[in-house]
Structure formats: structure tokens, C-alpha cells
Amino acid sequence: MGTVLTQLSIKNLTLVNHLELQFQGGMSAITGETGAGKSILLGALALALGDRADASLITEDAKQAEVSATFDLSEYPEANSWLEAKALSNEDSCILRRVISRDGRSRAFVNGSAMTLAELREL
């Protein structure tokens, strides 16, 4: 089985101003000392997947936070079928993006199209 999560991007979330991570084939392990930011990465991924957003996570100097996660769905026909049914197919790639604003509102996008959180979680 190939890499499922291929990229994670974080902007203005907790202690992270800007971070771009690329994941290669095989297993990836995130290691580090206490306080290094492992939980921030997992929290960002959870946000991209539809977890509850909280405006207090936005860095002090920013108006909004943004998280995006890119997935390779080439080995996941059910996910590809869901995307095709909603006219969101992007070959075998899927980009989930969440934008959280200071007022506590968040917007969710799948392959650039606005989605409800329920739809994001369904995917």
C-alpha cells in the first residue's frame, strides 16, 4: 500500500507560522522531545479531517489559521467514488483544507470546493 497522506500544510496554528511537510512512500514516524510539536501536527491533521475548530488555536498576529492535507487515494476506490459522485474528482489526489477565523467560524474545502463539515467527515 502506498502513502496515503502525502502533504500537510499548516499556517498560523498555535506555535506554527508556516510549515509544509511532504511524506514519501512507506511508513513515516514523527518523533521528538516533549514540546517539539508532535501534537500540533496531529491536531492539524484532525482539523483537516473535520475535527472541531477553536479560534484560540490561531497565532496571536494572524486573522485566520489554515490547514491542508493532501491524500493519495489511488488505492481507495470508495473515496474516489464519493468524490466523483460530488463532481470533486481530482484523479487519485484529494486535498482537504480548513480555514479557521478569529470569530470561531471555520470553512471546509475538498479539492477547492466548499463543503459542510458533515460532508468532510463523511469522506
Alpha-carbon distances of 104 from 92, 101, 119, rounded to whole Å: 32, 6, 19
Query: What tens digit of pLDDT does each residue of 77-89 get?
Result: 898 899 999 998 8
**Residues, the chain:** 123
Model confidence, pTM: 0.89
Query: What tens digit of pLDDT does each residue of 108-118 get?
Result: 999 999 999 99
- Distance, in Å, from the CA atom of 75 to the CA atom of 15, rounded to the nearest integer, reads 34
User: Quick one: pLDDT at residue 91?
Assistant: 80
Question: 5-122, what's its fold?
Answer: Rossmann fold (3.40.50)
Name the strands in the sheet holding 106-110, side by side, starting at the edge strand that comes first in the sequence. 16-22, 5-13, 64-72, 93-101, 106-110, 113-115
Amino acid at 22: Q
First to last CA, the chain: 19
Q: Is the pLDDT of residue 1 over 60?
A: no
**Element housing 104 (H / E):** none
Which pLDDT band holds residue 2 (cuts at 50, 70, 90)? low
Are 11 and 65 in contact by the 8 Å Cβ rule? The answer is yes
Q: Is the pLDDT of residue 8 over 60?
A: yes
| Domain ranges for the chain | 5-122
